[in-house]
Amino acid sequence: MKKVLVWAAMAFASLSFSLQAAEPVSDVADLKAKMQKAAANVSSIQSDFTQEKYVSAMGNSMKSSGKFYYQKENKVKLEYLAPFKQNLVMNGNKLMMEMNGKKNIMDASANPMAGELKKVISACMSGDIANMGENYQLEFFVDGANYLVKITPKTADIKKFAQQVDLYLDKKDFSVVKMKMIEPLKKGQSKNDYTEYTFSNKKLNEKVSDSIFVIK
């Protein structure tokens, strides 16, 4: 009986490993071209999302959910519906956070850090990562259903906020399935804090009202 249990455990472990193992993409240039073509064909995205913020010091994570909207060019909205309502809107150079009826509007062109952060989030969530610039190192992997793009910032300023971003793209349409933003390790901690977004019920290229992205 003991042997059976050991074998079962080993089989389960190897299965888990095989599911998690992602192999490097052999033809990166081809994949990039396909991604760029797919991104060019997407004018809008609407989906549901869940956000999990893991804070190592708290020993648990905080979950939120809501609606995600993307409209070409450069318009992103995260409408949080639970556990409480709030909005994050990116439109051109502006970024707005709205909570409890209070709006905080930032001009990304006047705040380089906010601008860079906006660029990363906007590019990753829309899946349009081809134009992220030279400040990031991209590594491409493939597993069963998804491509995994590991994005590592090269500059110290950005590394303060994100050590790495893992982007999971659906192999079928290159749409974003999951995005995991990993923070740098903090003083006295053994695990990194991270924020993970999972997108579902995606609708591509359906009309999204411009009023959704208005910042004022």
Partner 1 sequence: MRKYILLPFLIVIMAGCTPKLFRNLDMRPATSVKIHRGNLMPAFDHLDSAKYYSAQIDFKENSMSGILALTKESEGRFRMVMMTTFGVSLFDFSVSRDSFIVNSCMEQMNKKVVLNILEKDFRSLFMLNVPEHFSAIYYKNPQKPDWIGYGVKADDGECDYLIYPKGTNFVRNIQNGCCIKRMNAVFDEQVVTIHHPKLKLKLILTELQQ
Where do contacts with partner 1 occur on this chain (CB under 8 A)? 51, 53, 55, 57-60, 62-63, 78, 80, 83-84, 86, 88, 97-100, 102-104, 117, 121, 160-162, 181, 183-184, 186-189, 193-195
CB of residue 104 vs partner 1: minimum separation in angstroms?
5
CB of residue 200 vs partner 1: minimum separation in angstroms?
18
What values do phi and psi take at 14, rounded to 5?
-70, -35
Comparing CB distances to partner 1, the nearer of 9 and 105 is 105
Q: How big is the chain by its Cα radius of gyration, in Å?
A: 19
CB of residue 166 vs partner 1: minimum separation in angstroms?
14
* Contact between residue 28 and residue 164 where contact means Cβ atoms under 8 Å apart: no
* Contact between residue 141 and residue 23 where contact means Cβ atoms under 8 Å apart: yes
CB of residue 75 vs partner 1: minimum separation in angstroms?
16
Comparing CB distances to partner 1, the nearer of 100 and 211 is 100
Comparing CB distances to partner 1, the nearer of 68 and 140 is 68
CB of residue 50 vs partner 1: minimum separation in angstroms?
12
Annotate 52-65 with DSSP letters as a single string: EEEEGGGTEEEEEE
- In degrees, to the nearest 5, what angle opens at C-alpha 207 toward C-alphas 204 and 211? 125
Q: Which two tokens stand for residue 146?
A: 């998804």
Residue (of 123, 115, 122) closest to 93 by Cα position: 115
Q: Which two tokens stand for residue 203?
A: 């609708």
Comparing CB distances to partner 1, the nearer of 55 and 212 is 55
Comparing CB distances to partner 1, the nearer of 59 and 144 is 59
d(CA 60, CA 36): 37
Comparing CB distances to partner 1, the nearer of 128 and 193 is 193
d(CA 34, CA 112): 31
CB of residue 84 vs partner 1: minimum separation in angstroms?
6
Q: Is the C-alpha dihedral spanning 20, 159, 124, 26 positive or negative?
A: negative
